[in-house]
Amino acid sequence: MSEHGIPCLWMRGGTSKGAYFLARDLPEDVAARDALLLRIMGSPDPRQIDGIGGADPLASKVAILSPSTRADADVDYLFLQVFVDQALVSDAQACGNILAGVGPAAIERGLVPVAGPETQLRIHMLNTGEIARATIQTPEGRVCYAGATAIDGVPGTAAPVPLMFQGLEGSMCGALLPTGRARDVIEGIECTLIDNGMPIVVMRAGDFGLSGEETREEIEAMAEVKARVEAIRLKAGEMMNLGDVREKSVPKMTLVSAPLAGGTINTRSFIPHRVHATIGVFAAVSVATACTLPESPAAALAVLPEDGRVRIEHPTGAAEVLLELDPSGQIRAAGTMRTARKLMDGRVFV
Ligand SMILES: O=C(O)/C=C(\CC(=O)C(=O)O)C(=O)O
């Protein structure tokens, strides 16, 4: 198949970028598929010079689409993180940013028909088993990418892609709070080990001597902070039922501080070895959830909104997370606004 190239859509999804494939165009065998994807992206190599990857974990992502295996979904979506400088491909996390491109890609590839000026899709996220709902602008019988919606971390505006989720708790760890507690202490640092769509460890930036205002580059240059965060991550991984996480991209590590720009809480996220330029979608939902737990280190720093529109500040702005609570204060549904853009449609050669 590789001699003639492999059909590939290269798209921005939210604040990430990746290659979107149909499952039928890739080898069924997982080892063969992963070897092919490493070759396509150009990994392992910090510059990914011999591939299409963007030399950054946020631009070294893959979505594999197939007709849905579930009656209550329209399309199946498998997310794969292709590591940049290691020969690793991991399905051990979901990705809500790349998810924003799944609806448009499924329509472009004819997996889902256009339903009218807007097309609603139920996306079965194979990594975690949950269904996401996406609404795609399809005004003239095809996907429209242009629009007036801005998201922080992406210049300009584009068509809105609202995403809604239910039942995210325990997506990879089996429970919202895999240790049964909202507060644990690891290596002397108070943390919340939580999974509401993404396994993350929430800690105070101040406990690492940080103000929380540092840039991505500044934190990445702090070898001692990075080593402490990684030591906590390896212990947290075991405590979160994720096993040995040395070669996994979860849990993500999120440092929180008081909001700086009128939001709910300020964050800096390790994903897990590079610092995120913004914050992941499911990571943002998980941080927002930690803010609602009084025992979490996040709670005392958070300024919770009254209308459920939580704003998670990050290095380049803020991500909005909509939390719908039931009368007992439990989260019934969560959502966010993203945009996506088709950048290239062609064939990739290996
Ligand atoms: O955490 C990462 O590795 C990066 C992500 C994941 C994501 O979107 C999510 O948490 O849902 C991203 O921004 O693409």
Closest residue to atom 5 of ligand 1, CA basis: 280
Q: Which atom of ligand 1 is nearest to the CA of 58?
A: 14
* 268-318 residue pLDDT tens: 999 999 999 999 999 999 999 999 999 999 999 999 998 889 999 999 999
pLDDT above 70 covers a percentage of the chain that reads 99
Tokens encoding 30: 């997982």
Give the binding-site residues of ligand 1, using a 6 Å CB cut-off.
Answer: 15-16, 57-58, 94-98, 198, 249, 252, 271, 280-283
Question: 140 C-alpha vs ligand 1 centroid, how far in Å?
Answer: 31
Q: What is the pLDDT of residue 2?
A: 65
CA 189–ligand 1 middle distance (angstroms)? 24
User: Which atom number of ligand 1 is nearest to the Cα of residue 98?
Assistant: 14
Q: Which atom of ligand 1 lies at the shortest distance from residue 97's CA?
A: 8
Q: What angle do CA 151, 159, 315 make, to 5 degrees?
A: 10
Q: What is the pTM of this model?
A: 0.94
State residue 1's pLDDT score: 55
Core vs surface per residue 43-73: b (16+ CB within 10 A) or e: bebeebeebbbbbebbbbbbbbbbebeeeeb
Contacts of 166 (CB under 8 A, 6+ apart): 130, 131, 332, 333, 334
Neighbouring residues of 104: CB distance < 8 A, sequence distance ≥ 6: 11, 136, 143, 145, 161, 340, 342
pLDDT at 258: 98
Residue 57 Cα to ligand 1 midpoint, Å, equals 9
Pocket of ligand 1, candidates 20, 91, 95, 276: which has the most ligand atoms within 8 Å of its Cβ, to mutate?
95
330 pLDDT tier (thresholds 50, 70, 90): confident
What are the pLDDT digits (tens) for 102-136? 999 999 999 999 999 999 999 999 999 999 999 99
CA nearest neighbour of 11 among 98, 79, 94: 98
What spacing in Å lies between the alpha carbon of 240 and ligand 1's midpoint?
A: 19
* Cα 249 from Cα 233, distance rounded (Å): 10
Residue 181, number of CB atoms within 10 A of its CB? 15
Each residue's pLDDT tens digit, 19-43:
999 999 999 999 999 999 999 999 9
Write out the two tokens for 120: 């609603």
pLDDT 10s digits, 221-255:
999 999 999 999 999 999 999 999 999 999 999 99
Paired tokens of 325: 């609570």
This model of the complex carries an ipTM of: 0.94
Task: Tell which atom from ligand 1 comes closest to the C-alpha of 249.
Answer: 3
Cα atoms found within 13 Å of the Cα of residue 328, Cβ hemisphere only: 2
Question: Which atom, in ligand 1's list, is nearest to the CA of 278?
Answer: 13
